[in-house]
Amino acid sequence: MPTSELYCRQLRKSENDGLLTDLALTLLSFSTQYDYGDANYDDDALIEILCTMSNSNIRKICATYQQIFSKRLDQEIREGKTGNYKKLLLILSEGNRDESISCDPQSAKNQAIVLEKKLSQSFTDEKTIIEMLAKKSFRQINLISEEYRKRTGNLLEKDIKKRMSAKLKDALVAIVRASKNIAEFYARRINKSINYFNLDHHNLGRLIVARCEIDLMNIQDEFKFIFRESLQSRMETITSGNYKHALLTLLNA
């Protein structure tokens, strides 16, 4: 049974409170349309979409966005974002990342050397790093990251955090982490939305709905491995009422 149908049944049994209604709207409208409407104003969602999705999905989202809003996504990015963060998003929005399954070990070693040099300069060459991480395949980026660790003893994402600024840093780190383990990437994003100090209903609902029919089981496995408790247990502790029951329905769909 499709997840949306399961959730609709849960919704009909509920009192339709505010949080549940918000989650319902997220699920029932979740499509390329929902992705884009969210990404238009939410940098976290925009990074998740453009930094982790396949070329085909990015292109579908772009086409749907233009159909709905009569405006191109790249135009929105040009008008609403700035600097090298804007440059990165524009490249990613083209949906032209290399998606070949083969890797080039020697090229990865050379690219790791380039990254080491660029990240150690007093003035970081952000444009070169952007070109590499926005266009190479995720498999190749993972190999580059491993070669970088061997050369420097540091994680690539940690050095990016030290040298890059604001949202550009967040986007590049997302690419590197997604290239290593997409399930772990989303497990950590979900943890950020539902922890014992903060409950971000909007992002939690969006993340669960976005992955519930893709790889949510894998994400739950990673969540338990990293945080030593199940996502279901976390939700049972922190959320409540019909909203909790609806989230648990999605987890077990």
Please report the pLDDT score of residue 69 as a whole number: 80
Q: How many domains does the chain have?
A: 3
User: Across the chain, what does the average pLDDT equal?
Assistant: 85
Residue 72 has, within 13 A of its CA and on its CB side, a CA count of 7
Residue 121: how many other CB atoms lie within 10 Å = 9
Work out the average pLDDT over 13-21: 51
Higher pLDDT, 145 or 37: 145
149 and 174 together in one domain: yes
Radius of gyration of the chain from its Cα atoms, rounded to whole angstroms: 19
What H or E segment, with its residue span, contains residue 144? helix 138-152
217 and 244 together in one domain: yes
Residue 200: how many other CB atoms lie within 10 Å = 15
8 and 38 together in one domain: no
Please report the pLDDT score of residue 26 as a whole number: 54
131 and 169 together in one domain: yes
Work out the average pLDDT over 74-81: 91
Residue 46: how many other CB atoms lie within 10 Å = 25
23 and 37 together in one domain: no
The DSSP output letter for 198 is: E
Q: Does the structure show a pLDDT above 90 at 144?
A: yes
Task: Give the domain extent around 7.
Answer: 1-30+181-253
Q: Does the structure show a pLDDT above 70 at 157?
A: yes
All residues at 6 or more sequence positions from 48 whose CB lies less than 8 Å from its CB, including other chains? 174, 189, 207, 210
Phi-psi region of 83 (alpha: psi -120 to 50; beta: other; left: phi over 0): left
Work out the average pLDDT over 227-234: 95
Task: Identify whether the C-beta of residue 221 lies closer than 8 Å to the C-beta of residue 181.
Answer: no
Considering 132, 156, 180, which residue would you say is the last residue of a domain?
A: 180
Query: pLDDT of 108-123, one tens digit each?
Result: 999 999 999 999 887 7
Closest to 176 in 3D by CA, of 142, 223, 130, 226: 142
Q: Does the structure show a pLDDT above 90 at 124?
A: no
Please report the pLDDT score of residue 27 as a whole number: 52
Please report the pLDDT score of residue 24 as a whole number: 57
pTM attached to this predicted model? 0.82
Q: Does the structure show a pLDDT above 70 at 1?
A: no
Considering 180, 209, 228, which residue would you say is the last residue of a domain?
A: 180
Please report the pLDDT score of residue 34 as a whole number: 46
The DSSP output letter for 164 is: S
Work out the average pLDDT over 231-246: 89
CATH code assigned at 137: 1.10.220.10
Query: pLDDT of 21-67, one tens digit each?
Result: 555 555 544 444 445 454 445 788 889 889 998 999 889 888 888 88
Please report the pLDDT score of residue 116 as a whole number: 95
Query: pLDDT of 175-211, one tens digit each?
Result: 999 999 999 999 999 999 998 888 888 888 888 888 8
